[in-house]
Amino acid sequence: MSLLMGIRIALRALARQKLRSCLAMLGISIGVGAFLCSVAIGEGAARQVEAQIRSLGENMLWIEAGSRNVNSVRTGTYGTKSLTLGDARAIEQEVEFVRNVSPHVNTRVPVVAGNLNWLTRVRGVSPAYLAVRDWAVTRGRMFSAEEVAVAAKVCVLGQSVATALFGVDDPVGQELRVKNLPCQILGVLAVKGQSPNGQDQDDVFLMPYTTVQTKIKGIAWLDDILASAVSPAAIAPAEEAITSLLRQRHRLEGPQDDDFSLRHPAELAQAGAQAQRTMTLLLASIASVALLVAGVGIMNIMLVSVTERTREIGIRLAVGAREWDILAQFLTEAVTLALIGGGVGIGVGLLGITGIAYLAGWETVIRAGTIALAVGFTGAVGIFFGFYPARKASRLDPITALNQ
């Protein structure tokens, strides 16, 4: 029996029991639709995490002060005062795997513009900070190296700060007060959005690190040093070189702990990607249960069909049909039932994905490979759950079947 003829016979058999066939296909459709929606939501969440990681800066490394063990007590981040401008310059000049080094001093401060005030974070940086973080100024300009050298009272606002203090007005050229320190606004940063830990990256403003050191915090050391590796492959050797250089500069020998710590977004990316893979797998597994339940429904429908068509099977066997022909006929019916239901489920899933993206505002991603996997899994369900009824039909005794 040719495949085309088998499909025609299967469609005619399914058409004779329209309601029963539709109910069996409904389970498959729901399962496939749920599977596609689950995977699309998981893939979309993973893409958002990747975008947030990238927003921190490509190949970024940051060296934090602290993490030293003093009298069996670990000081934690910013627990030491050993990072200096000399360290930043040494990293820039001596570590070949690094470029765009920026000193970094930060604190939370209230800022005032007119009769409005806002508590935010000030980051004292150099102009290289924009290259490290892959950040742009959309209005105005960034402060210059000359303004850093003289500790100029200038700043560049993040979008959230600009909106909170100036609304729709252009803040460039205006003035605000930082702890009673007047500061001229040079520019506004492009929107960055949330960080991987949910913080608003735009709720910040930048000033020369020299200004923050001397006129706001009153310190001579750095909180961090930010840098970018020349490539993703250079991150590991850059970390090794920086660690060796700083230990030498800080006179740390033998078993002495580092008085600094190195981090980079790749660590966050790996943790975030692993969490999203686990969540996507969990959602897809839950949705797959619906497909298995639908497969049981197909088996039940096919067993009932074999019972109802026992005499038909006996006649076919009596006129020369082989066991393989009967097996192929009923297996084709089961697979056809599953694939039609799967096709409807793909349509339902795509509509559901579109609806979720529109109504909930979630990012969803559906790949051709995911749809192909759903189709393949649907066909496998039809074969697996249709085999037993088909085998039972093919092994009927012709004489017994004709007497039914």
Report which residue type is found at 276: Q
Q: Which of 62-66, 118-122, 265-269 has the highest mean pLDDT?
A: 118-122
Mind listing the pLDDT tens digit for each residue in 300-336? Answer: 888 887 787 778 777 777 777 777 777 888 888 888 8
pLDDT score of 348 more than 80:
yes
Tell me what the pLDDT averaged over the chain comes to: 83
pLDDT score of 158 more than 50:
yes
Spatial distance between the Cα atoms of 346 and 94, rounded to a whole number of angstroms: 57
Mind listing the pLDDT tens digit for each residue in 65-121? Answer: 875 444 434 444 555 678 999 999 999 999 999 988 999 999 999 999 988 999 999
What would the two tokens of residue 307 be?
A: 């019972």
Count of beta carbons in the 10 Å neighbourhood of residue 221: 17
Confidence of residue 216 (pLDDT cuts 50, 70, 90): very high
State the DSSP code for 46: H
Confidence of residue 402 (pLDDT cuts 50, 70, 90): low
Spans of all domains in the chain: 3-52+270-402, 60-263
State which H helix or E strand residue 99 sits in.
strand 98-113
- The model's pTM: 0.61
Mind listing the pLDDT tens digit for each residue in 25-36? Answer: 888 898 888 888
| Mean pLDDT of all residues in 160-181 | 92
CA distances from 130 to 156, 231, 304, 331, 346 (A): 11, 17, 70, 63, 45
Among 107, 104, 105, which Cα is nearest to 128's? Answer: 104
